[in-house]
Amino acid sequence: MTKKLLFVGMTLLVVALVALAADAITGKWVYETPGRGGGAPRQTTLDLKADGAKLTGTVTGGGGMGGGGGQAPAPSQVTNGKVDGSNISFEVTRETPNGNMTTKYEGTVSGSELKLKVTRTGQDGTPMTTEYVAKKATT
């Protein structure tokens, strides 16, 4: 009887931890990239939703993608999104004048911070990785 209670208790604890991790990841995250030539920083917004081990959402702004001519950049869909505890990974593919560009995101959530490694292909064809810290938005 004690072993059954212990098993049930551990199972409930694991389910609760997964739910807490999903709740910690789900939401709006914002980080800034430096502007070109010392210009104003550009803001990137991640709207993420964790559902168990699956991650979905959108990425808006950043990296000079979209928004030309004063228009707001269109959100890009998150694909291949995964959640593993406090770790996340996903990809975003955007159409550019030079063809599709896929950016890979990997990160770790800790409280209201999301530490990200963002990897994309540079103009010379080699991968470029940049690190950012996104903050969870309160609105």
d(CA 102, CA 97): 14
**For all residues of the chain together, what is the average pLDDT?**
82
Type of residue found at 135: K
Which of 34, 22, 29 minimizes the C-alpha distance to 114? 29
- What confidence score (pLDDT) does residue 95 get? 85
122-100-69 Cα angle (round to 5)? 85
Average pLDDT, stretch 108-116? 95
- What confidence score (pLDDT) does residue 93 get? 93
Q: What is the CATH number of domain 2-136?
A: 2.40.128.30
Task: Tell me the pTM.
Answer: 0.76
- Chain segment 65-86, per-residue pLDDT in tens: 444 444 556 899 999 999 999 9
Type of residue found at 83: V
Q: Locate the domains of the chain by residue range.
A: 2-136
